[in-house]
Amino acid sequence: MTGYEMFWPMVAHAVLVFILYALLGWRRRVLVKADRIQPAQFRENHAANEPAESLVVRNSIANQFEIPLLFHVCCIVLYTTQADNLPAVILAWIFVVTRYAHAYVHVTSNNLRYRSPLFALGFAALVCMWGWLGIWLAFS
């Protein structure tokens, strides 16, 4: 390992956030052009006034700043404590891949039958990352 592998999943997650922001802008632009909403309505940022097509994207963006915050912190601490071995990097990639899949389902069908297991798998990967960090700190 070169020493920077733990940062690539973090970069990949940031790219997901940028993609979602681009999708939000595109969907809002389409809604404004279709005269389904006025641009001024976005100024107040009230979810009650926002059409479902853009609201689900906005909610998906919000999701990227909840549990993933713990992911980014864990990655940085794993790196600084030199606990970023291959299993930790694999778990980080599992987390990020599940975030991509979760976001895709969220902004398309929003079917909880698929979304919930994807969230659970990513959550489990993150718990394992923190568990590994705890073991590393306790026994190093």
Domain map (residue ranges) of the chain: 6-139
Least confident of 1-5, 107-111, 131-135: 1-5
Is the distance from CB of 96 to CB of 75 less than 8 angstroms? no
The closest alpha carbon to 75, from 85, 86, 65, 84, belongs to: 84
Rounded percentage of the chain residues whose pLDDT exceeds 70: 96
For residue 98, the model assigns a pLDDT of: 98
The stretch 80-91 carries a mean pLDDT of: 96
Backbone phi and psi for residue 61, each to the nearest 5 degrees, phi listed first: -65, -45
Alpha-carbon distance 47 to 133, whole Å? 38
Options 1.20.120, 1.10.3470, 1.10.150, 1.10.10; which CATH number does 6-139 get?
1.20.120
Token pair belonging to 62: 């919000």
Token pair belonging to 120: 């659970």
